[in-house]
Amino acid sequence: MSINNKSLSFNRKNTAISRYTFSKSIKLALELDLINKGKTVFDYGCGRGDDIRSLTNLGIKCSGWDPEHKKAAELKSADVVNLGYVINVIENPQERIVTLKKSWNLTKEVLIISARLDFELKQENNFKPYADGFKTQKGTFQKFFTQQGLKHLINQTLNIHSIAMAPGVFLAFKNEYQREEFESSIYHRRIEYISARVDSEEIFKKNEIFLKPLIEFYHLRGREPIHTEVGNYKELMDKFGSIKKAFSIIRRAYKTEFWSELRKSRTEELILYLALSKFSDRPKFSHLPNNIQLDVKSFFGTYNKACSAADDMLYKTADLNIIREASKSLTFGKVTHDAVYIHASEIDKLPLILRLHEGCARSYIGAVEQANIIKLNMLKPKISYLIYPQFDKDPHPALLGSMVVSLSELDVKFYDYSRSNNPPILHRKEMFVPPEYPNRRKFEKLTKLEEKFDLFNKSNKIGFKKDWEDLLKSKGLSIKGHTIKKSHMHDIN
């Protein structure tokens, strides 16, 4: 997992671990479609080759090299190169730079870099300080980066602006257009299709098959296309004379507010993307992908106006009074005097200012694996990502861990409750989700039963597992599968 193995102090062979699932970085790349059957993959520092085998089983063309476990393998260029937890086991800072550059030179499209972060050090015992890292009990070296420190190393070494994919995982794109295309897609909100009205005009019904690509394009981008953006553009022109005429037929066949909502949503996504690009040296207009340039012209007229709107919204996120005021308009989410709690699946339904507030943290830390509740602090510029693995199944799920991002200090802290016998737990789960959430009615039913038994009278004493269990025991109650049971009685409904 390095350039050479001349170090006498450390046994790098022992740094490779066996896995039966994908590594964190490869799993994320698959989820984001950065890796698919159309891409070639090279694993630089592949260890025992677990990711290679798993990717090959998916039909993905993949190979790798490792100085300890796969010395004879050929170094190959690939669309996607993975440098997974390699630079953190290299004790020589200069060798880390050389390793980054070598893997970068093999990359055609995107390099994925992952390394261990400083908060992970709390989970390790008996590590002895050495240079800028630690010597482990196995005789290996481990460097623990800060999120900002890792990003700085990547950006300075490769002379690029990397993207945080997750804590300790970054993407480095070879092509600036691809980078901007990917980053803008992060904020894309999925809006469900609606059906055309039953009483649609005959001309729409007869030509619906020809109009479908135009409908799909508008759904994707919220604007009319140019001739290169729709495959049957010429056919549409021949049949209807212009795209505007074709789209006017579509408009009349659907509810007007559907198209207005689409355009509003896509405009907000562009503002989010441009606002957050401020943190990584916002690109010149000419450096944007062509489709984003067209979005800018359609929604704002000029790039200056678009950037001005984005900057204005970004500056507002620094005013917590504005953030608190925006939280008052929420139709779902648990709102307390000091915070708003939202289920992670619903974050794109928040008002733009709150989405951007959370986006500031996400652009810094990336996606926090398994985090399903997001806490927006109303008193301090902090965003917390809370992990409740059993949110849907457990009536009162326990907190496994919390990652807290301080926007003022650009600092990340992780609080681990996995070994606690008295972790924080959730109540009133329905408050975190919107009315259409699949299990909301089940959550509401349990809450009503708990209110019936006066279980929330002392809310300051039920926030932890033991306190809650003691309260239930004192009342002769138990909870199984979102149903309350009383000693020697049938289920209470």
pLDDT mean for each 10 residues of the chain (493 residues): 45 56 92 96 94 95 93 95 96 96 98 94 79 89 95 97 96 95 89 77 90 92 92 92 91 85 94 95 94 97 98 95 93 92 93 96 94 96 96 96 94 92 95 93 95 88 92 92 77 53
pLDDT at 314: 96
30 CB burial (10 A radius; 0-12, 13-18, 19+): middle
| pLDDT value of residue 220 | 92
> What's the number of CA atoms in the CB half-sphere (13 Å) around residue 35?
29
Residue 5's pLDDT is 41
In this prediction, residue 490 carries a pLDDT of 47
Diameter of the chain measured on Cα atoms: 81
| Identity of residue 69 | H
Domain locations in the chain? 12-174, 202-254, 322-416, 437-492
Beta bridge partners of 376: 340, 383
Residue 232: per-residue pLDDT: 92
pLDDT in the model for residue 125: 67
Task: Please give the pLDDT value at position 13.
Answer: 56
Strand order in the sheet with 133-135: 128-130, 133-135, 141-142
Beta strands in 356-427 (DSSP E): 373-377, 382-387, 401-406, 411-416
CA 127/CA 121 separation, integer angstroms: 9
Q: Rounded to an integer, what is the distance from CA 42 to the centroid of its chain?
A: 24
N residues, the chain = 493
Contact 52, 62 (CB under 8 A): yes
356-374 burial, b if ≥16 CB within 10 A, otherwise e? bbbbbbbbbbbbbeebbbb
Angle in degrees, 0-180, between the axes of helices 147-158 and 93-105, rounded to the nearest 10: 60
Helices assigned H by DSSP within 241-367: 243-253, 256-276, 290-299, 303-316, 320-327, 352-365
Q: What pLDDT is recorded for position 296?
A: 98
Class assignment of domain 12-174? alpha beta
In the beta sheet, which residues pair with residue 133?
A: 130
Kindly list the distances between the CA atom of residue 343 and the CA atoms of 124, 125, 189, 465, 474, in Å, as whole numbers in the listed order: 31, 34, 15, 21, 32
At 301, give phi and psi (nearest 5°).
90, -55
Whether this model's pTM surpasses 0.85 = yes
Contact (CB, 8 A) for 353 and 340: no
State the Cα–Cα distance between residues 276 and 152, nearest whole angstrom. Answer: 17
CB 396 within 8 A of CB 427: yes
